[in-house]
Amino acid sequence: MEQKLMALSGNEAVAYAFKQARPHVASAFPITPQTEMMHKYAEFVANGEIDTEMILVESEHSAMSAAVGSAAAGARTFTATSSAGFALMWEIVYITASLRLPICMALVNRALSGNINIHCDHSDSMGGRDAGWIQLFSENAQEAYDNAVMSWRIGEHKDVRLPVMTTYDGFIISHTADSLHMLPDDAAYKFIGPYKPGYTLLDVENPITVGPLDLTDYYFEHKADQLAAYDKAAEIVGKVSEEYGELTGRHYGFCEEYKLDDADLVMVILGSSAGTAKDVIDEYRNKGVKVGLLKVRMFRPFPASYIAAKLAGRKAVAVLDRSASFGGFGGPVFTEIRSAMYGQQVPVHGYIYGLGGRDFDLKQVATVIEDLQKVASGGAFEDINLLGVRS
């Protein structure tokens, strides 16, 4: 399909993607680096370009609460946040998934305090990884836009009915202008489709209750039903992504494979850092080093069997986390990957990098590749490593 070439920041691109879904309600509260995304959307509303009810609330907890009320009443709803704002939503983030409300949210990745830091790492999204939301990570503004468009189709699918967060790195993507192709508004809306809520509190002919007390008699069974939705959700992510690829020419799966087919050494990474890694991988490929990249796009539901199959038979794997699991064994992506690889004789090592927006540079990628070469040749190496920390 013919598309328009644009130069937009990540925040602007995602605002356009949400506009194209023609949502009924948006609940908003400012926090850096998400604020500009909602500023752009508010501009669309003020200019009469979209008929969305903007609810300006007093906190992020209220923003998610308002979104839950709106979605439970049958409205297509979205919100956005970052960092401590996401943490303040905590209680309602879990409730949203448990009530099977397909709210879409832009989560602009930023470090959590303390001390106060406004720059990028993944501690916010990783803190919410077990809340029941589908999580799609983005490498650049193009992928953030595409994920945001697809998020509506995925979350609202009748076999899914789950909230979806599109994550993209604060400032690195959110505030940086990038070139991207956008669907025409009508084509995007046709792909997304009109909203058909699974239930609505406003249907007086079919009254229901939402969020009642759920004690020992039934809570576990309700959680079992919710757990069963995630295998289906992964299947729908794949199908929607395939259909989107046929429409746009941009193909996404659970992960992106970069020079992976014959790779002996593999880096696993999320987000914008993948672009940096690809440049250095090209240099080492020119030197004859068989190194490749597996960029995880869908972190929740976690595609364990898919990733295990992609990493099987490699000589060494490095997993890079832009967040720390304090008191845990490595970062959250590392623990998931190593668990998925259980029983396979593939050495998997973890790196924590880039906390608080620390630059992820070419030298750090080269260090990881050279470490992988040492591991592949039988050298001893630490399971968990800090990358880019001053000594």
* Residue 34 shares a structural domain with residue 150: yes
* Residue 150 shares a structural domain with residue 262: no
* Residue 67 shares a structural domain with residue 97: yes
The CATH number for 107's domain is: 3.40.50.970
**211-247 confidence digits (pLDDT tens):** 889 999 999 999 999 999 999 999 999 999 999 999 9
3-class secondary-structure state, position 360: coil
For residue 10, which of 131, 96, 99, 139 has the smallest C-alpha distance? 139
25-28 and 53-56: which strand pairing? Answer: parallel
* Residue 215 shares a structural domain with residue 124: yes
Given CA atoms 124, 128, 129, 135 in this order, what sign does their dihedral have? negative
* Residue 171 shares a structural domain with residue 277: no
The CATH number for 380's domain is: 3.40.50.920
**What does the pLDDT average to over 272-283?**
98
Give the whole-number percent of the chain exceeding pLDDT 90: 97
* Residue 74 shares a structural domain with residue 209: yes
- Whole-number pLDDT of residue 272: 98
- Whole-number pLDDT of residue 391: 83
Q: Among the three residues 248, 283, 317, which one is the final residue of a domain in this structure?
A: 248
* Residue 290 shares a structural domain with residue 160: no
* Residue 97 shares a structural domain with residue 238: yes
Average pLDDT, the chain: 97
Give the Cβ contact number of residue 387 at 10 Å. Answer: 19
Give the Cβ contact number of residue 218 at 10 Å. Answer: 9
Q: Which domain holds residue 339?
A: 255-387
Q: Among the three residues 228, 248, 268, which one is the final residue of a domain in this structure?
A: 248
- Whole-number pLDDT of residue 217: 95
* Residue 128 shares a structural domain with residue 221: yes
Reported confidence tier of residue 1, pLDDT bands at 50, 70, 90? confident
* Residue 289 shares a structural domain with residue 228: no
- Whole-number pLDDT of residue 211: 87
Reported confidence tier of residue 40, pLDDT bands at 50, 70, 90? very high
CA dihedral 192, 237, 260, 367 (to 10 degrees): 90
Give the pair of three-digit tokens for residue 37: 């995304």
Residue 385 has pLDDT above 90, yes or no: yes
* Residue 229 shares a structural domain with residue 266: no
DSSP string, 178-226: EEEEE--HHHHHHHH-----S--TT-TTS----S----TTTHHHHHHHH
- Whole-number pLDDT of residue 176: 97
Kindly report the pTM of this predicted structure: 0.97
Residue 125 has pLDDT above 90, yes or no: yes
Determine the Cα–Cα distance for residues 122 and 321; give it in Å rounded to an integer. 8
301: cis peptide before it, omega within 30°?
yes
**159-186 confidence digits (pLDDT tens):** 999 999 999 999 999 999 999 999 999 9
> Do residues 185 and 20 touch, judged by C-beta distance below 8 A?
yes
Number of structural domains (the chain) is 2
Q: Among the three residues 248, 267, 284, which one is the final residue of a domain in this structure?
A: 248
Residue found by looking up tokens 């799966």 in the block:
253
* Residue 216 shares a structural domain with residue 244: yes
**What does the pLDDT average to over 328-353?**
97
User: What is the CA 181 to chain-centroid distance, rounded?
Assistant: 20
Reported confidence tier of residue 277, pLDDT bands at 50, 70, 90? very high
